[in-house]
Structure 1
Amino acid sequence: MEEERRVLSIGYNIYKANVDICPVFGYATGMYIWNKYYFERENRSIAKRVFNIGETLQIKHIMPGSPADVAGLQVGDRLVSLNDKDINKGRYAYRDFYRNFNKLFKDQTVNLVVQRGTQNIPVTLSRDKICGFGLVYDETAMEINASANGHRVKINRGYYKFTENDDELAEVIGHELAHNAMLHINKGQWNSAIPILAGIAIDMGNVVNGTNIDSDDVYDIKKYTDLIYSPSFEREADYVGMYMIARAGYDTSKAAHVWRRSSAEDNGGGIEVDILNSHPSNPDRFVSMEKTHKEIMHKKRHGLPLLPKMEQGKTLPLVNPPAIRKGDMH
């Protein structure tokens, strides 16, 4: 629980600080909720005993400095009513709550009543505008890994254990968020589709024209285009991700350190410059990250906006105005 809270809290800071350079945004109160149906059936009796959790929704986490925190909500508070309407209990309570919550939040505030002990406590909740990508902590995955899928960021417990401080953990989250913010998944899927489309065109041409051109080689190009584009995406995620954590107040001076250590853990993989590597060579990566740190510090010293410099024709935010997407972060 404490590990998840820490991951989500650091992520909340980064997501909030970078909403203006995310292509999608959402609204958050900084309150995570659950009931016994969060757990698999065989674990519900344990959850009831350990967390005193049942049919009623209750607060699981509060993000420091969030609207929920400012309003005085506490972990363990039970949700009673929302804008004078009783909050549902049971299996679908979570879904129903956020469905109603999002409808009501067309206004700037909502009125929530929670039960704490024997008291009913009314609070007025505002909301933060944050990047519209989910953030998930996988406490069962011990591999030193983190990922982005275009919709959310996932941090493995293995990576959590591997990082030595909040700045390193922020660097991992920022890097993965940058993949989503720069739409790398979408671009990667298009890059992979190009040789497939070319192979289909050749096959169709063979049928129509009676030719016998071999399309297998064209289909094989797909695995190379996936890899060729990947290092450039990783470099961009390193660069933009460092700006993201700097904007959230985290230290970028040791940003390359976590990647050096994880590289060593991976037996030095990626030291050689190889077109088939999915990441940039490590020496190149570390030099680039240290250069980015100096660039950030220069802007801080001179009071310049902390915005990454992009290639010609590419600007941040990527979409203007951004679209709203519902993520896993609330």
Structure 2
Amino acid sequence: MLRLRAAVLLLVLACAGCTPVSRLPALDAKVVAAEQRREQISQMRSYYTGLHRVDNVAFQLRVANVAFCKKQISAQIGLYAVTPQSLPQHFRSFAAEALNLTWARPTVISVADNSPAAQAGIRDHDEIIALDGELIPVKRTAGWIGGWLRANGVKPVRVDLRRDGVDQTVTVTPVMACSVPINYAVTADVNASSGDKGIIIESGIVAIAKTDAQLATVIGHEMAHTNLGHLDKQRTNMLIGFASGLAVDAGVMVGGIPTGGFFSREFARSGARAYSVQFEREADYVGAYYAARAGYDLNGTEELWWTLGQQVDPNSLRFAKTHPLAPVRFLQMRAVAAEIAEKRAKNLPLVPELKPFATAASPPPSTY
């Protein structure tokens, strides 16, 4: 017992010698709390500035490329309104101050350029009261508005709003647009991705996209993945690889050698990566068309891939494991821009040149 106590005492004395040695300045807890709130407000404003940029570009792409989105379409007006109650919990205590929100009515914080909402004269900071006389809830506001518009379709909508304390009514006529969810996330990654729950555009890629045209090619790229069914194709390839590996595992095990499913796992991994680089190049190609159809000038959009290779991921200059080399993406974007410019000069439809059997991804001939 004495030995145990001595050991504990020695450990305590040893730890005492491993502590910081500087005399740090004392900080008032209230001052720290005030600075924390100030920085949270700044971060929230920055987040919603980025969200507005993504939403604005995404809306142009959604409308211009509705013919490509098959059944994933819905009526939209290009407006985003919230209340503090409808925002994530960690935003609520300072949301009203950060975004000039009210607790009583949803406040518009984003209106897409050239959208039905913009054309009707709706502005940021307008308080939206009702759609066709139906009061808008203060919780889950954005989701409620989206659902209401899906049910209403493209019929004109009477929107009751309050601006600077004065009530007024405007009429908004929704348009059909692609409805795949496109979300904005603040992360340290320079990336965008597509999945079963929609598209995620991360703040890192938004930051290096110097123009909205460059951002449009990124969002268009992810929309192309969705519309062309790349995720389902990768899953099919993975299953084929898994089945092939399973057969090898079974054959080896017949010989009395256990594999632990090694070949199944490795063949499935290889199957999932099959055509990955080609899928990414195809998404770059089709996504560029989506951006052009939305009215964006592709000249200079290839510089995004220069920035990626030079400043963000130098490995993209040398390795093409799942994505094309950055130089390939740079040159392809420049070539696609020239292809689209030639079609415009000849007054031809801005439709990607797909293989004959890929008709599901092609819009009607009259669509430009």
Q: TM-score, normalised by structure 1?
A: 0.84
Contact 1:36 1:54 in 2 (8 A): yes
The amino acid that maps onto 1:193 is L
Map 1:32-71 → 2, pairs under 5 A: 32-50=80-98, 51-71=100-120
Distance 1:283 1:84, change over 3 A: closer
Q: Determine if contact 1:206/1:213 at 8 Å carries over to the other structure.
A: yes
Query: For residues 111 and 258 of structure 1, do their structure 2 counterparts lie closer, same or farther at Cα, with a shift above 3 Å needed?
Result: same
Aligned to 1:196: 242
Identity %: 26
Q: Secondary structure at 1:280's aligned position in 2?
A: coil
Larger CA deviation: 215-224 vs 186-195: 215-224
Letter in 2 for 1:302: K
Partner residue in 2 for 1:175: 221
Q: Distance in 1 between matches of 2:304 and 2:288?
A: 13
Q: Cα distance 1:173–1:47, how it changes in 2: closer, same or farther (>3 A)?
A: same
Query: Unaligned regions of 5+ residues in structure 2, if any?
Result: 1-47
Change (3 A) 1:193 1:165: same
Given the alignment of the two structures, is residue 119 of structure 1 paired with residue 163 of structure 2, yes or no? no
| Structure showing greater relative contact order (alpha-carbon pairs closer than 8 Å, 6 or more residues apart) | 1
Note if 1:222 corresponds to 2:268: yes
> 1:309: how far off?
0.6
* SS of structure 1 residue aligned to 2:210: coil
Aligned equivalents of 1:297 and 1:97: distance in 2?
A: 38
Once the two structures are superposed, residues 187-207 of structure 1 have per-residue CA deviations (whole angstroms, 9 ceiling, x without a partner) of 112211222234456778999
Matches within 5 A, 1:7-156: 7-23=54-70, 24-50=72-98, 51-89=100-138, 91-103=139-151, 105-106=152-153, 108-138=155-185, 140-156=186-202
The answer to whether the 8 A contact 2:52-2:110 is kept is yes
What's the RMSD between the two structures over aligned residues? Answer: 2.7
Q: What residue is the counterpart of 2:41 in the other structure?
A: none
**Structure 1 pair 156–110 and aligned structure 2 pair: CA distance change class (3 A):** same
- Contact 2:75-2:149 within 8 A present in 1 as well: no
Aligned to 2:50: 3
CA distance in 2, matches of 1:43, 1:287: 43
CA 1:26 to 1:255, structure 2 compared with 1: closer, same or farther past 3 Å? same
| Contact 2:120–2:170 (Cα < 8 Å) also in 1 | yes
Match of 1:186 in 2: 232
Equivalent-residue separation in structure 2 for 1:96 and 1:301 (angstroms): 44
How far is the alpha carbon of 1:125 from its aligned partner? 1.6
Shift of the alpha carbon at 1:287? 3.1
Moved more, 249-258 or 301-310: 249-258
Residue of structure 1 equivalent to 2:334: 290
The code of the aligned residue for 1:248 comes to A
Question: Match of 1:171, as an amino acid?
Answer: T
Taking the aligned partners of 1:264 and 1:217, their CA distance within structure 2 comes to 38
Change (3 A) 1:257 1:243: same
> What is the identity, as a one-letter code, of the residue corresponding to 1:296?
I
Q: Please report how far the alpha carbon of residue 41 of structure 1 lies from its aligned counterpart in structure 2 after TM superposition.
A: 3.3
The 2-side partners of 1:246 and 1:230 are apart by 24
| 1:57 and 1:94 in contact (8 A); partners too | no
CA drift of 1:227 comes to 2.0
CA distance in 2, matches of 1:49, 1:262: 36
- Structure number with larger C-alpha Rg: 2
**DSSP 3-state at the match of 1:32:** strand
User: Which one of the candidate residues 304, 307, 310 is aligned to 1:264?
Assistant: 310
Shift of 1:179: 1.3
Count, aligned residues: 314
The residue identity in structure 1 corresponding to 2:209 is T
Greater fraction helix: 2
Correspondence for 1:239: 285
Match of 1:310 among 333, 354, 362: 354
Distance 1:298 1:49, change over 3 A: closer
Amino acid at match of 1:28: Q
